[in-house]
Each structure stands twice: as C-alpha cells, then as structure tokens.
Amino acid sequence: MTETLSTENALARDGADRIEWVRRHSPVLDGYVRDIVSDGSLRGKRVAVVVHLEAKTAFLATVLADAGAEVIAAGSNPRTTDASVVAALRERGMTVVADAGGDYESWERELRAAADCEPDYIIDDGAELTMRTAEHRPDVFARLRGVSEETTTGTARLHAMAAAGKLPFPALTANDARCKHLFDNRYATGQTTLQAMLRLTNRQIAGARIAVVGYGYVGKGLALYARAMGARTFVTEVDPVRALEAHTDGHTVGSRRDIFPQADMIVTATGGMRAISADDIAHLRHDVVMGNAGHHDLEVDTEALGAAASEVFESRPGITSYRVGGRDLHVLAGGALVNIAGGSGHPVEVMDLTFAVQGLGVHHLASSELEPGVHILPKELDDSIAAAKLASYGIGLDELRTDQRDDHTARMEESVA
C-alpha cells in the first residue's frame, strides 16, 4: 500500500512539473486571460473541459478553477490521456473522470460520467461530450448554458445540430477564431505531426515523398513544414478550390489513385472518416507510413487494413504493420492523432493562444446573453489575445492614422453615426 501511494505521489509530482512548465510558457493564459476570467462570472459554475488530457489542457483547467469554476476534466480521445497529469489534477482536488490507457469502451463511460456531473458549460473537442450529453442525459443537455468547441469536426457537428433545430443553447466555435486556426491548425499541427512521425519511424524527411490528404489549415501546415524540411510534397483534396490552392502553392495535386502509389508517407488531415479507406489499399506502395493528423482515429481505416492483411505485427513501438499481398503497410500510433498519441502534442506557445480563446470563450458565454445557435468569438476578443501575445514578445504596433483612412468610407461611417 505504501509503495502504491509513493508511486502515485511521484506520478502526481511529475504531472505538476509538466503543468508548471506549461504555465511558464503561457503568458497570455497565465496573465491576460487569468485576469479577465477572475471577475466572478465563472464562480460556482460547473465547466467540463474535454480536450486531449495532457499538461496544456490541465493548465487551462487550473486557470478556470482558480477563477472559481468547478472543473470536470475528461479526455477527448482514449489514447491521449496522460497519467501523470490525471494524478496531478486529482491531487489538486479536481474532478477527473478519465484515466490513461483506456479503450473506446472506457472512454464512452468517461464521457457519460462527465455528463452525469451536470456541467453548465462545456469546452469540447469534436463535440464529443456535447453529443453524448444529448443522448445520455437529455435533461442536462436542455439545461446547458453554452459550449465552446475546439475543432473543425466539432464545429461542423454543431452547425448540423443547429440546422436540425437541436441546439437549445449558444455555442462558440473557438476553431473559427483567428487566434486558433491560423496558428494551432496550421503551424502547431504541421510541426508536431511531422516531429512525431520522424521520431516514431527514425526515417529521413529530406527527399521523401509525403502526401497530405486534405488541404484545410491543417493540411496546409503539414505540406508547408514537409516542404521546408526538404520533402517532395503531394496533396489530394476533394474541394476544387483548395486543390487549386495547393497546386498554386507548388505541391503536386491529384486523386488518391494518382498520388498514393508515389508516397513514402501519407498524412490524413480531413477531420472526417476513412480518408484512407478499403478502396485505397490497392494503391498503397510497399513500406508506406501512414499517420493521422485529423480528428477521428478512423481517418486511416485500420479495420479495413486488418481485414485485408495476412499478418499484423508491431514493427517497432508505435508502429503497427499490416502485410497485404507482399506489401508491408505501416500505421502510426494505432491511427490516433499521431502528434499527441505518438508525440508531445502542440507547442506550448501555440496552445497559449488556443486555450486563451477557450478561456475567454467560456467567460464570454457566462457573462453575455447570447441566443441559442452557433456563434464566433467576437473580433475584439480575438484581437485582444493577439495583442497580448505580441506584448509578451515586447512587440508594439502602430495605429491607423486619420489621414490614412479612405475618405468615402469615413463619410459613410459618419452619416450612419
């Protein structure tokens, strides 16, 4: 018993050290946002934080708890929960309904447990808790005061719920804030996904042929970083405008049938399901490496690969290999988000912006009277986050002078006033 307690204490200390490291490199969240959310708006409110449960998410949870919120922490994916962070938050006295090392069945139970805590507000990732609250606890769902959503996938789900008349509360799409998607989706995912893929495979990126599936902000970041590191970059995309943009950016663009046979590495970034599907297996070259940078663990259809394989084996830690017709096809981190399940997640500096958006988002929900439906974080709050980040770097900006304004626009504004 004593040995178990000692192990748990050591785990909690490790988690606390990880959270402290995040705090030291999060000047916006630890300063500007902390000051705003401490006005009493969140005092006594139950806030469920359901994002990948690692140190950066934990620090957001502590900032909200310090502001007086009753925080319930859960994970948005069963493969990305950090045991030391869970131990540290529990030692602090926070309600944590997630544990590391779970599977999809345990994750479903954890999300239902979070719904059973009857949150007033949800900071969500993929609308995972929002949807399960609607299904499992419709009474709690009807009383929700608001949701702030992290991802492109969750934003699409919220819009679908609103269109169907099934969104009885205001929801902020934090993903649509410029301080989120311009930095988190593009730079953070681009950097950390490739870092994780290279760490897991010990392969060289210079000269490698890397294909990106999807050319939204995440896909753009992946292709940008891959090309900057010397890779030959390919993009496959179903949206013709995005495909044209990828072509104009200098990447080789084509259908999966054309692109996949050339790729040494493939990264999915669609936010949907089965971006690499059963139909694509025939076009995958021997020794290809596949990683997922989107929301769903099934962006790479591992079930189809398993059904097609004559043998499934672990080539090295974090790499599952499928032998299909004499070819070895490799999937990283079991198909989960490779930058978190196989790496350290997004850089602290970027998550300082993302979680500033989430912190101010839930504060905005708690301190404003918003109509039910999907909303975007007000521009002035988005701008204030960027200004605070610039200030932390010692950067000041000019203001637009009166003589720089368009005279016609100024006259129109004056007539409206």
Tens of pLDDT, residue by residue over 180-226, are: 999 999 999 999 999 999 999 999 999 999 999 999 999 999 999 99
Among 79, 61, 49, 73, residue whose Cα is nearest residue 22: 61
Instruction: Check residue 307 and give its pLDDT.
Output: 97
Total domains present in the chain: 2
139 shares its domain with 217: no
- What is the distance between the alpha carbons of residues 169 and 179, in angstroms, rounded to a whole number? 24
Here the CATH number for the domain that contains residue 293 is 3.40.50.720
264 shares its domain with 287: yes
- What is the distance between the alpha carbons of residues 87 and 99, in angstroms, rounded to a whole number? 9
Residue 402 lies in a domain: no
Domain interval for residue 63: 2-180+346-392
48 shares its domain with 163: yes
Instruction: Check residue 93 and give its pLDDT.
Output: 94
- What is the distance between the alpha carbons of residues 64 and 38, in angstroms, rounded to a whole number? 8
Going by DSSP bridges, is the β-strand pair 311-316/319-324 parallel, antiparallel, or unpaired? Answer: antiparallel
Can you spell out the DSSP letters for 85-148?
HHHHHHHHT-EE---TT--HHHHHHHHHHHHHT--SEEEESTTHHHHHHHHH-HHHHHH--EEE
List CB contacts of 404: < 8 A, sequence separation 6 or more: none
173 shares its domain with 28: yes
- What is the distance between the alpha carbons of residues 292 and 359, in angstroms, rounded to a whole number? 27
**Residues 372/146, Cβ–Cβ less than 8 Å:** no
Instruction: Check residue 416 and give its pLDDT.
Output: 61
Residue 352 lies in a domain: yes
274 shares its domain with 314: yes
Residue 203 lies in a domain: yes
Q: Which two tokens stand for residue 15?
A: 């988690």
195 shares its domain with 331: yes
- What is the distance between the alpha carbons of residues 46 and 299, in angstroms, rounded to a whole number? 33
Instruction: Check residue 403 and give its pLDDT.
Output: 82
Here the CATH number for the domain that contains residue 371 is 3.40.50.1480
**Residues 103/78, Cβ–Cβ less than 8 Å:** yes
162 shares its domain with 249: no
Instruction: Check residue 77 and give its pLDDT.
Output: 85
Instruction: Check residue 80 and give its pLDDT.
Output: 87
Segments of the chain scoring below 50 in pLDDT:
none
Instruction: Check residue 410 and give its pLDDT.
Output: 59
194 shares its domain with 83: no
Residue 411 lies in a domain: no
167 shares its domain with 80: yes
309 shares its domain with 376: no
Q: Which two tokens stand for residue 2?
A: 């004593």
Residue 417 lies in a domain: no
Residue 151 lies in a domain: yes
